[in-house]
Structure 1
Amino acid sequence: MDLIKKSINTKVIEKCQISKETLKERFSCLFNNEKLSDIHLFVGKDKHYRIPAHKLVLAASSDVFEEIFFGSSATNSKEIEFPDVEPQAFLAFLEFIYSEEAKIDYETVMSVISVANKYNVPALKKYCVNFVKQNLDCDHAVLLLKQARFCDEPQLAAVCLDFIDKNATIILASDDFIEIDLDILITILERDTLQINESKLYQAVLRWTEAECKRKHLPSTPENQRFVLYRAFTLIRFPLMAIEEFGVGPVQSGLLTDREVRQLILYFTVNPKPSVEFSDVPRVGECVNEVPSVRWIPARNGQVPPNAVQGGYDQGRPLYVARAFHDDIAFIPGKLLPEYGLTYIAWRGSEHSKDEYEVLCGCNFSWVPASGGRVPEGALPGGHTEYGEPLFIGRVAFPDRCLTIGRIHRSRGLLYISFGGRETGFPDYEVLVVQ
């Protein structure tokens, strides 16, 4: 980027005062331009970059520059050196000061934030965070998270973590994930909002342990894998797995002790559930379907988002597939009746109405007959119990002139629907299957 040899057309600059309608447009014309400049900034270690600037514009945007130019020890020099600033980031900083916009990308955003902090321009920092929010992708989320943590930028780190939550299946399977340090791994595992099956999360953690053992020059044995995980191991929520997943994955990997395996098998097979050393608090996003076309859209008070999936009817009125939290723990599939402004779910013998819910949108699906708690391949998890058991979406023709949506509870062998204030179970039903 040539900051020195920028061509200047003075006729165009003169016309800016007439042709540009706003103050922002007129000041943008002065950016990196000799026109009316009264200071030159030399940027970089070798003073290679010489940038014309305007004291008033700089001082009006930054109290640091105000002190430099107009403070008690103001400089009289017409040239100021900035040897410790990355030139491209500094140019983006100046562009924002003059125009409230800046050319930034994944390579420069952290450097620009650093300059914004150095010269106390919080609006630019906010601009950078918004850039990341709008442009972040799976290829850069982990890298930016590491940089944000290293530079102590909690706002940016929070944006990255939120993106990782929503794209956990892809990101945790990437090579970037196995390069993170233990502190970041712990931060990710602590999150209740990861949208990934716990068994897949465990497989990603195993890949990380193998890479970490290699970095520490240790054989990749179960003992060393657990050693490098340290307390991160206790953050894996084994109780959220299906017993089949637990047997094929964690038990076979050998990281759990015999006592821990016995405790967890008891947890899976008996009621009431015994206490275990690992959290059984469901991750809010765990049962979100991983098919890209499927979306759960938050809504309230009868709102129906575009492309909502209609799954039934109530005496001619459409019912949509929805789900809602109950007691802030269980996440229950049910039916949205827009006319009443509520989603209805069945739980523990009763019908519960919810004015805040999520609606299933934008997927190709079919309804497949099943019974006895069974669900076919491709069945869409729509929520979970307070113990982490997945709940699937089903429907049944009940009562007359109604096709009612509810939850399939596999361990109980029934589809449960809400109707007339009560929860009613059915052994035969249809299951929503994503195509």
Structure 2
Amino acid sequence: MASACSAVLEGDAAAFAAAIRGLINNPQFSDVTFVVGRERQEVFAHRCILTCRCQAFQGMLSRPQSESQLPQAPVVLSHVQPEVFLAVMEFLYTNSVTLNSRIALEVLTSAVEYGLDELRKLCVMFLKGALSTEMVCEVLQAAVTYRQWDLQEHCLAFVEENTQEVVRTQSFHELSAVALVAVLRSDRLAIDELDLIRAVQEWAHVSSAVLELPVAEVAAEPVRELRLPLLAPCELAALESLNQRDLLIPVEFIAEAWKCHALRKGSGAPARLCQRRRGTQPREHHSYLE
């Protein structure tokens, strides 16, 4: 007897995708409702699609139902914007997502929260291509928060090329201390050290006001990365005088910088603090720091 043959034959993929896309936020045959955001917008979904696509929704929607039960109460998600949640729904239904610069970071947050690794990768890809001077620090902060190392390195490279412009943005002043330290450790910042110190001073005062903590406390880690030995004696003296107002920089750090000048070599401070950055303007004493 002849053996049976088999094959997988595919129909019109575009028609199938369009049909599935038509189910997004469609109340017809929906068996779960979300109440989303401060606007309390209703979003309709289908339990079988969500639970087979996302383990987080499996846990959220695992309560069994029967015909005798009353309809399940809506699931309230007040912490997410409706537009962001609908983007997540689009991905779950279609394996694609429509992003823009306004929502991409929040969609990334949701992707991490719901364990949607493929959506996370799509968000990272979009954000890399959409970086701008105004948003790079916000993206960097998200990358640091969610440990997206590749995105963090991409943001740092952008900051290195556009440092002067980036440090003037509002989002720079909203960086966490951890994210700012990641920036300050770079040798490739295109900014002079004196200008960078002033930018960090401004950041510290904004953070102090927001966190309601002393300036010196909020800036404790970032100031360790300031390369004070690169300053000329007159600049260091002016900084020391200004520093007496809020003690932003510990006096021992300034003393280390003076020691470099006194000894005419870089042994008065850690070696990394004597390393010129790409944008460091030359001073006469730099020759004996190295």
Q: What is the DSSP-based 3-state SS (H/G/I as helix, E as strand, rest coil) of the residue aligned with 2:220?
A: helix
Q: What RMSD in Å do the two structures reach over aligned CA positions? A: 4.1
CA distance in 2, matches of 1:92, 1:128: 11
Correspondent of 2:192 among 166, 191, 197: 197
Match of 2:260 in 1: 264
Structure (1/2) with the larger strand percentage: 1
Match of 2:74 in 1: 81
Cα distance, 1:136 vs structure 2:
2.0
Residues 259 and 114 (structure 1), Cα distance of their counterparts in 2 relative to 1, 3 Å cut = closer
CA distance in 2, matches of 1:178, 1:64: 34
Match of 1:39 in 2: 31
Q: Tell me the TM-score normalised to structure 2 length.
A: 0.68
Residues 264 and 208 (structure 1), Cα distance of their counterparts in 2 relative to 1, 3 Å cut = farther
Structural mapping, 1:205-216, within 5 Å: 205-211=200-206
Structural mapping, 1:36-115, within 5 Å: 37-44=29-36, 48-66=40-58, 73-76=63-66, 79=72, 81-85=74-78, 86=80, 87-115=82-110
CA distance in 2, matches of 1:144, 1:182: 15
The code of the aligned residue for 1:155 comes to Q
The code of the aligned residue for 2:22 comes to C
Residues 217 and 47 (structure 1), Cα distance of their counterparts in 2 relative to 1, 3 Å cut = closer
Percent of pairs with identical residues: 21
Alignment of 1:143 onto 2:135: no
Count how many residue pairs are aligned between Structure 1 and Structure 2: 258
Match of 2:3 in 1: none
Q: What is the DSSP-based 3-state SS (H/G/I as helix, E as strand, rest coil) of the residue aligned with 1:33?
A: coil
Alignment of 1:252 onto 2:238: yes
Is 1:38–1:78's contact at 8 Å kept on the other side of the alignment? Answer: no
Is 2:36–2:43's contact at 8 Å kept on the other side of the alignment? Answer: no
- Which ranges of structure 2 fall in alignment gaps of 5 or more residues? 1-10, 244-250, 281-285
Structure (1/2) with the larger helix percentage: 2
Structural mapping, 1:213-252, within 5 Å: 229-239=219-229, 241=230, 246-252=232-238
CA distance in 1, matches of 2:16, 2:51: 17
CA distance in 1, matches of 2:218, 2:58: 50
**Which one has more relative contact order, counting CA pairs under 8 Å at least 6 apart?**
2
The code of the aligned residue for 1:116 comes to A
Structural mapping, 1:369-380, within 5 Å: none
Bigger radius of gyration: 1
CA distance in 2, matches of 1:57, 1:216: 43
Q: What is the DSSP-based 3-state SS (H/G/I as helix, E as strand, rest coil) of the residue aligned with 2:267?
A: coil
Task: Tell me the alpha carbon deviations over residues 267-293 of structure 1, each in whole angstroms, 9 at most, x when there is no partner.
Answer: 6xx4xx34122434646xx3269xxxx
Q: What is the DSSP-based 3-state SS (H/G/I as helix, E as strand, rest coil) of the residue aligned with 1:194?
A: coil
- Which ranges of structure 1 fall in alignment gaps of 5 or more residues? 1-17, 219-223, 290-383, 389-435
Alignment of 1:119 onto 2:105: no
Cα distance, 1:202 vs structure 2:
2.0
Structural mapping, 1:324-343, within 5 Å: none
Match of 1:153 in 2: 146
Task: Tell me the alpha carbon deviations over residues 286-331 of structure 1, each in whole angstroms, 9 at most, x when there is no partner.
Answer: 3269xxxxxxxxxxxxxxxxxxxxxxxxxxxxxxxxxxxxxxxxxx
Q: Tell me the TM-score normalised to structure 1 length.
A: 0.48
Q: What is the DSSP-based 3-state SS (H/G/I as helix, E as strand, rest coil) of the residue aligned with 1:50?
A: strand
